[in-house]
Every structure is written in structure tokens, then in C-alpha cells.
């Protein structure tokens, strides 16, 4: 006797009629290829994909979520010019394959390489930066984008430097201090117009006392340390500089006042058994207004 597989348990009514905001899959790894007018691009990404679930639907069809990701990749191969276009196509495919859903979202995490260097160091070293792109979409509405990056830099404590210089009668602009490696995550949410990850990197890379660089010869290491100690920064200073530079860039590029900026920083302390943490969030209009009123 052959058992029937026709019963669709997911489509049954749940015992509790409560809506669920996000349900889906996390950690799907894929390679996505894109084609611009001048070159081919390849991204190794880790994907999360979600839909919402109405109160009268017992479960989501997980296989359809994975199918939507795969079909978007296969249909878009070499047709799209950016990772953003792929992700938006995935979002639309999720809604197409799950007609009971009103909202879909896709998040991609990948690595891009940017050149971060001091003017004193002639060679430009490509450094890895973690990039996150997230798109969400309600049925019949435009997509909403969030771009995020995470990178690290070197900070020199200005308080310890000032105390040391005072007690030792050293040069107040170059006294000894303790240093930290500070990890910063920056996100910008700007409606249907995604903020380029490069802008977030540019605003962040120059906010530290000095960048962290993979390959340093002895003279280069000397130049980097010298530059860092001439530019002492609290982790609070780093966050404020990023907020100011990014807001100025977004405002100059015509992004709407309601654009949101979120920054989180953790300083790995070298003389304390704990880390320092800073986080803040603001709309573009609020940052511009505060900068204008200083």
C-alpha cells in the first residue's frame, strides 16, 4: 500500500492563531557571479532568507525559500551587474514562491578587499573588510536596504598619554600611552537606495589613530606607530568621527534626512581586564543638525 504525500501540513491552520514576523533559513553558502560592463565579479556569500507568516498559516515551506535563492542565482547568472541586484531578485522570488507571505528579506555576508594605508607608507596593502548587505521588501512596495561593514583599527589612549607626558615632562604631543585594537561595525539604512559599502569603509578607515596593516617592514612599523601616537583617540572619538564623516558624505550625495546610521565599537583594552563598548544610532538629519549647532 502506497502512502499519500498529498497532505500539506504547513497550509493547515495552527492551533494558536498568531502571526510570526520572521521565519526562514540561515547560513546558506553560495557563490554569486555578476557581470559589469568592464569585468566579471564573483562573491562567496553566506545568506539568510526570511518571510513572514500569517496567523492562519501553520508553517512556512522551507524548501521554497531555498528554491527561491537557487533560482534567483541560476536565472541571474551573468545578467546582473552587482550583488545588490541579485539580492533584490532573491527577495522578489521569495514573495513569488510564498504567496501567503507579505514580507521577505535576504541578508548576505561577504568579504571585500580595500586598500588602507598611511601616506607615510608607500605600498597600498589590500585588507579584508566584512560586508553585510540586507534587503527587505513588502508586497507591492519598494525594497529597503541596509549596508554594513566591520573593520578594525589602532587606537592610542589620549588620557594615559597626557598623564604620562605631565609626570615625565615629555612632549605633550608624543608621550607614551597604551594602545588598543578597536573593532567597529557601521550600518546605514537608506530606503530603496543602498549606501555603497565603500563609503562606510572610507569614513571608518581614517577615524582610528592609525590603520591596522597586515604587512609591515621595520621602517613602516616605525612610521605607523609614530603616526598613531601623534593622533591619540578614545573609542568615543572614533565613533564620533565616523558619524560625522559618513553623515557629511550622505548629505552631500542627496540621501534623505530619514536615512539611519548605526555604529557599534569595541575597544580591546590592553591594561584593563575588560573591553570598552560604544554604540549609537541617529538619523542623517539629526547628525547634520548637531554638527551645525556646535
Task: For residue 32, count other CB atoms closer than 10 A to its CB.
Answer: 23
Same domain, 228 and 150: yes
Report whether pLDDT(48) > 60.
yes
Q: With beta carbons less than 8 A apart as the criterion, state whether 83 and 32 touch.
A: yes
Q: In angstroms, what CA-CA distances link 91 with 21, 39, 103, 169?
A: 16, 25, 9, 62
pLDDT tens track for 188-245: 999 899 999 999 999 999 999 999 888 888 888 888 898 899 999 999 999 999 999 9
DSSP 31-47: EEEEE-SS-EEEEEEEE
Residues 156 and 276 in one domain: yes
What is the model's pLDDT at position 182? 95
- In this structure, are 152 and 92 located in the same domain? no
Q: With respect to residue 31, please indicate whether it lies within any of the assigned structural domains.
A: yes
Choose the final residue of a domain: 53, 85, 116: 116
pLDDT tens for 71-121 read 888 887 767 778 898 999 999 999 999 999 999 999 999 998 887 666 666
Confidence at residue 180, expressed as pLDDT on a 0 to 100 scale: 92
How many whole angstroms separate alpha carbon 204 and alpha carbon 162? Answer: 25
Q: Which residue has the higher pLDDT, 179 or 175?
A: 179
Q: Is the pLDDT of residue 37 over 80?
A: no
Q: What is the phi/psi pair of residue 226, to 5°?
A: -60, -45
Whether 84 and 194 have beta carbons less than 8 Å apart is answered as: yes
The reply to whether 55 falls in a domain is yes
Q: Are 130 and 44 in contact (CB under 8 A)?
A: no
User: Same structural domain for residues 283 and 162?
Assistant: yes
C-alpha cell at position 49:
532568507
Distance (Å, whole) CA 84 – CA 262: 20
User: Strand 179-189 and strand 125-138: pairing?
Assistant: unpaired
Is beta strand 143-156 parallel, antiparallel or unpaired with respect to 103-116?
Answer: unpaired
pLDDT at 5: 62
Q: What is the CATH number of the domain that holds 147?
A: 3.10.270.10
The answer to whether position 131 is within a domain reads no
Residues of the chain above pLDDT 70, percent: 89
User: What number of residues does the chain have?
Assistant: 294
Same domain, 154 and 293: yes
**166 and 80 part of one domain:** no
Residue 108: which of 42, 191, 51, 29 has the closest Cα?
A: 29
Q: For residue 272, give the 3-state DSSP assignment.
A: coil
C-alpha cell at 292: 551645525
* Domain count for the chain: 2
Looking at residue 171, what is its pLDDT?
62
Cα 47 to chain centroid, rounded: 14
Establish if 97 belongs to a structural domain.
yes
Domain end among 116, 147, 164: 116
Would you say residue 127 lies in a domain?
no
Domain carrying residue 291: 139-294
CA dist., res. 129 & res. 127, Å (int): 7
DSSP H helices in the chain:
62-76, 83-97, 158-168, 197-205, 218-229, 235-252, 284-292
* Interatomic CA distance for residues 86 and 80, integer angstroms: 7
Integer angstrom CA distances of residue 84 from 70, 76, 107, 171: 16, 12, 10, 50
Examine the domain organization and report whether 181 and 249 are in the same domain: yes
Amino acid at each position: 500500500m502506497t502512502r499519500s504525500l498529498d497532505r500539506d501540513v504547513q497550509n493547515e491552520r495552527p492551533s494558536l492563531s498568531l502571526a510570526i514576523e520572521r521565519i526562514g533559513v540561515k547560513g546558506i553558502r553560495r557563490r554569486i557571479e555578476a557581470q559589469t560592463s568592464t569585468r566579471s565579479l564573483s562573491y562567496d556569500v553566506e545568506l539568510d532568507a526570511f518571510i513572514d507568516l500569517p496567523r492562519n498559516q501553520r508553517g512556512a515551506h522551507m524548501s521554497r525559500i531555498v528554491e527561491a535563492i537557487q533560482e534567483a542565482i541560476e536565472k541571474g547568472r551573468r545578467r546582473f551587474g552587482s550583488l545588490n541586484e541579485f539580492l533584490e531578485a532573491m527577495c522578489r522570488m521569495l514573495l513569488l514562491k510564498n504567496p501567503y507571505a507579505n514580507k521577505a528579506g535576504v541578508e548576505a555576508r561577504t568579504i571585500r578587499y580595500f586598500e588602507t594605508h598611511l601616506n607615510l607608507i608607500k605600498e597600498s596593502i589590500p585588507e579584508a573588510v566584512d560586508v553585510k548587505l540586507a534587503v527587505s521588501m513588502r508586497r507591492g512596495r519598494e525594497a529597503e536596504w541596509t549596508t554594513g561593514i566591520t573593520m578594525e583599527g589602532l587606537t592610542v589612549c589620549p588620557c594615559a598619554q597626557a598623564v604620562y607626558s605631565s609626570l615625565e615632562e615629555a612632549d605633550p604631543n608624543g608621550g607614551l600611552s597604551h594602545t588598543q585594537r578597536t573593532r567597529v561595525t557601521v550600518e546605514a539604512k537608506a530606503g530603496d537606495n543602498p549606501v555603497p559599502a565603500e563609503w562606510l569603509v572610507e569614513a571608518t578607515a581614517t577615524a582610528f589613530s592609525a590603520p591596522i596593516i597586515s604587512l609591515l617592514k621595520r621602517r613602516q612599523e616605525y612610521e605607523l606607530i609614530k603616526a598613531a601616537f601623534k593622533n591619540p583617540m578614545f573609542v568615543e572619538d572614533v565613533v564620533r568621527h565616523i558619524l560625522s564623516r559618513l553623515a557629511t558624505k550622505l548629505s552631500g550625495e542627496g540621501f534623505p534626512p530619514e536615512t539611519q546610521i548605526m555604529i557599534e565599537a569595541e575597544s580591546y583594552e590592553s591594561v584593563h581586564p575588560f573591553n570598552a563598548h560604544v554604540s549609537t544610532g541617529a538619523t542623517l538629519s539629526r547628525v547634520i543638525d548637531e554638527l551645525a549647532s556646535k
